[in-house]
Structure 1
Amino acid sequence: MTGVLIRSTRRDVLVALGSFALGALAYLLGLDRMWGSGDHASTGVRLALLGVACAGQLFRHTAPPLALAVVVAACAADTALGSSLPVTGVMIDVLHVAALDGSRRLHRVIRAAVAVITVAVVAVVAVLGDWRQSLGAGLQVFSLLIVPVWWAANIREHREGAERVARMAELDRRAAVSAERARMARDLHDVVAGHLSAIAIQSEALLSAPGKDPELVRTVLKSVRENSLRSLAEMRTMIDVLRADDPVDEPVTARLGEVGRLVESARAGGLRVGAVVGNVDGLPVAVDVAAYRIVQESLTNALKHAPRSEVSLVVERQVRRLVVVVRNPLRDGVARGTGTGLVSMAERAHAVGGSFRAGPVDGGWVVRAELPLGTAL
């Protein structure tokens, strides 16, 4: 802010010096005459009034009210002696800058004062002189007072409009970033909860096995290790995303092409998974990621609530939609898994314009998601 004031002061000094030099030249060449001008004052007096006006011009940006007060006083004295072009020009400049860069209150005061002065001049000339003269006086006052203020008001309005648009754009950007971070937080829950649940269930299954087959132990420990590493890797990715200012793409491993890893992990946890996966190449990215996460959450829920059971996974690509169906038996006829996992799956399906259903069907628990493959995605 200090730098802006310093630059503004230097610029105003140059403008004031230029105004005084041009004004002095106009006085010396006799080019200063305006309407009603006369030889009621010497050149020295005129130069003194011009110097006062230019002194006020020094503060036109840093202190607009002070600059306006000084210049109006000098202009009033100059008008009393017969208006001259140099002082009037300085007054027009300061009036414009004060209306443009001054406070809102000062801007309103200037507009009201200019309107009152214009009406008063026209009325006085009409009463004391000829009405035709009042029209000429009104045009002169309009050009000297209203035009610079009107011009400043238009520029100010456009500038404030641009600032409002910029603020709205910034608010939109922040809202988008917040939404993106909320989505990433949901992803972090899905990823970590899925991997850690698989690790816990696989470890428990291994510890409770009566006869520990070395090959089974190796398979389970390998799956536990893979789940641990992938959980850490995806957590680091999500943390990087949450720290970043710009949106970052989903981890490239969260694709249906990698669904075989989910199936292997579920099988290592004790599930007997029958998987039928159609052609998943070239899917829209949003649909690909949503379907992968739905399958991941569904298998995790099956590991939790129907351990060592048969699970059916079907991923079918139709003409206009991708259908994901995961079925597992209900234990004790009780529907489970109604927490944040189901909410997350539903949100993912709805986010890409699809539908989602989960609930008991014919003695089993069925998760069904239909995700559109339209170009809008």
Structure 2
Amino acid sequence: MPGLLRSVWDEPSPAAPPARVWRDWVLVGGFALAVVVETLARPDLPWRWFAAGVALAVLPTLLWRRTHPLPAVAAAFGACGLAPIVTGHDLGLNAFAFVLFLAYALLRWGSGREAVAGCAIIAAKVLLALLMGWMAAGDAIGAFGVLFAVSALGSAFRYRARARQRELDQVKLLERERLARDLHDTVAHHVSAMIIRAQAGLATAPSDPAAATDALRVIEAEASKALAEMRGIVRVLRTDEPAELAPAPRVADLHGLAGRHLVGPAVEVAVSGDVEDLPAPIGTAVFRLAQESVTNARRHARNATRIEVSVVADAASVRLQVSDDGESAPARATATAGGFGLAGMVERAGLVGGTCEAGPGPGRGWTVTAVLPRA
């Protein structure tokens, strides 16, 4: 119980309460009209113009009920609690019902300390009226019941808004992670190819300037692809520019990774089974996992001459295996684990209900194995 009370006391105010809007002015004007009409319609009400003056004086507190809920409650309920000292009885205007909006706003927009202090002020007002004989016991019980219901409603909307904000924060986090994976799997792939070509060009420039020139051409092409993909991602993120959306990569696009390059190991791709009717998320995941695995092998596999990409699809799942014949050195594991590639691969496989593992191959080299459900 002490922990619960402490958590209530330390509860912060909701961030960014809404600014005053035209509906607030309509609310104040409507209750002001109600006060005047009720005052004119009830000539038998004692001290009716005094009660109307008190109501009209505290009515503007509705305009500050969100940004300053505690001062608004203190002003309104304090005036309603002290005014009967002058009249000797409760003010009796039904239009004073507008204070219920203040009780709601106190629990909806106030901090824990403000809520506790405001509830104490409200309770003190009702108890004072009961003890002074200005209010019957049944009326006091009814007043407590109405105020409790209004306060509970404010608390419910407060925590509903907080739960909604947590959901939005979670969605934003997942979207950031997705963008990070896409950036790593697309742009980083081309940047890695540029690094490899640049290293090869530097190594061959003294003896074979033509090979260095070819390396520069490849770097230029890879840089253009990376820039195009980066611009495509930026267009998707911006709302003021039209995005030219391209089809998501599929398993059939894996053959674009195959071939023997001027530098680095050759890539061999083998696909078996029915992969034509794979759902788009599964096909894209297979391609991105294979692309990242090939990139890692070309960057980290020492003395590798071949990278094998194998995709086997059956009725229940799709199995991807990417292996190379490089050296199985401990530094390979350290370099792979130190980046974001492997973590992104595990996350990407997990998002579609699959698994992804990486480690030394049975003989030599490095093997990445991913199993994704077909559905």
8 A Cα contact 2:328 2:366, kept in partner: no
Deviation at 1:78, TM superposition (A): 4.4
Matched residue SS, 1:196 = helix
CA distance in 1, matches of 2:178, 2:138: 59
Write the letter of the residue equivalent to 1:314: S
Match of 1:273 among 267, 274, 277: 267
- Does 2:243 correspond to 1:231? no
Match of 2:93 among 89, 96, 99: 89
- Counterpart of 2:307 in structure 1 is 311
CA distance in 2, matches of 1:66, 1:364: 77
Deviation at 1:260, TM superposition (A): 2.0
- Counterpart of 1:10 in structure 2 is 29
CA distance in 1, matches of 2:247, 2:39: 69
The structure-2 alpha-carbon separation of the partners of 1:100 and 1:293, relative to structure 1 and needing over 3 Å to count, comes to closer
Q: How many residues align?
A: 326
Write the letter of the residue equivalent to 1:50: R
Deviation at 1:172, TM superposition (A): 1.8
- Which digits, 9 at most, give the CA deviation of each residue in 1:50-88, with x for residues without a partner? 1111111111351454444444455455456xx8xxx42
- Which digits, 9 at most, give the CA deviation of each residue in 1:342-372, with x for residues without a partner? 3332332233332223323212322211122
The structure-2 alpha-carbon separation of the partners of 1:334 and 1:167, relative to structure 1 and needing over 3 Å to count, comes to closer
- Counterpart of 1:36 in structure 2 is none
CA distance in 2, matches of 1:357, 1:332: 12
Matched residue SS, 1:363 = coil
The structure-2 alpha-carbon separation of the partners of 1:94 and 1:71, relative to structure 1 and needing over 3 Å to count, comes to farther
8 A Cα contact 2:76 2:99, kept in partner: no
- Counterpart of 2:176 in structure 1 is 181
- Counterpart of 1:293 in structure 2 is 288
- Counterpart of 2:51 in structure 1 is 53
8 A Cα contact 1:61 1:98, kept in partner: no
Matched residue SS, 2:59 = coil
Write the letter of the residue equivalent to 1:281: E
- Counterpart of 1:125 in structure 2 is none
- Counterpart of 2:342 in structure 1 is 342
Normalised to the residue count of structure 1, the TM-score between the two structures is: 0.71
Q: What is the percentage of aligned positions where both structures have the same residue?
A: 24
Normalised to the residue count of structure 2, the TM-score between the two structures is: 0.71
The structure-2 alpha-carbon separation of the partners of 1:199 and 1:106, relative to structure 1 and needing over 3 Å to count, comes to closer
Deviation at 1:178, TM superposition (A): 2.0
The structure-2 alpha-carbon separation of the partners of 1:332 and 1:268, relative to structure 1 and needing over 3 Å to count, comes to same
Deviation at 1:236, TM superposition (A): 2.2
Q: Superposition pairs for residues 61-72 of structure 1, below 5 Å?
A: 61-62=60-61, 63-72=72-81
- Counterpart of 2:320 in structure 1 is 324
Matched residue SS, 2:247 = coil
- Counterpart of 2:8 in structure 1 is none
- Counterpart of 1:39 in structure 2 is none
8 A Cα contact 1:270 1:308, kept in partner: yes
8 A Cα contact 2:282 2:374, kept in partner: yes
CA distance in 2, matches of 1:96, 1:203: 72
The structure-2 alpha-carbon separation of the partners of 1:317 and 1:23, relative to structure 1 and needing over 3 Å to count, comes to same
The answer for unaligned runs of 5 or more in structure 2 is: 1-18, 62-71, 107-113
Deviation at 1:168, TM superposition (A): 1.7
Deviation at 1:287, TM superposition (A): 2.6
Q: Superposition pairs for residues 1-377 of structure 1, below 5 Å?
A: 1=19, 3=21, 6-24=25-43, 27=44, 46=46, 49-58=47-56, 59-62=58-61, 63-79=72-88, 87-90=91-94, 93=97, 96=100, 99-101=103-105, 104=115, 105-115=117-127, 117-118=129-130, 140-143=136-139, 145-202=140-197, 204-205=199-200, 208=204, 224=219, 226-240=221-235, 252-264=247-259, 267=261, 269-278=263-272, 279-304=274-299, 305-306=301-302, 309-331=305-327, 336=332, 337-338=335-336, 339-340=338-339, 341-355=341-355, 356-374=357-375
8 A Cα contact 2:77 2:122, kept in partner: no
8 A Cα contact 1:95 1:148, kept in partner: no
CA distance in 2, matches of 1:169, 1:94: 28
CA distance in 2, matches of 1:281, 1:12: 67
CA distance in 1, matches of 2:86, 2:209: 108
- Across the aligned residues of Structure 1 and Structure 2, the Cα RMSD in angstroms comes to 3.9
8 A Cα contact 1:329 1:365, kept in partner: yes
8 A Cα contact 1:57 1:94, kept in partner: no
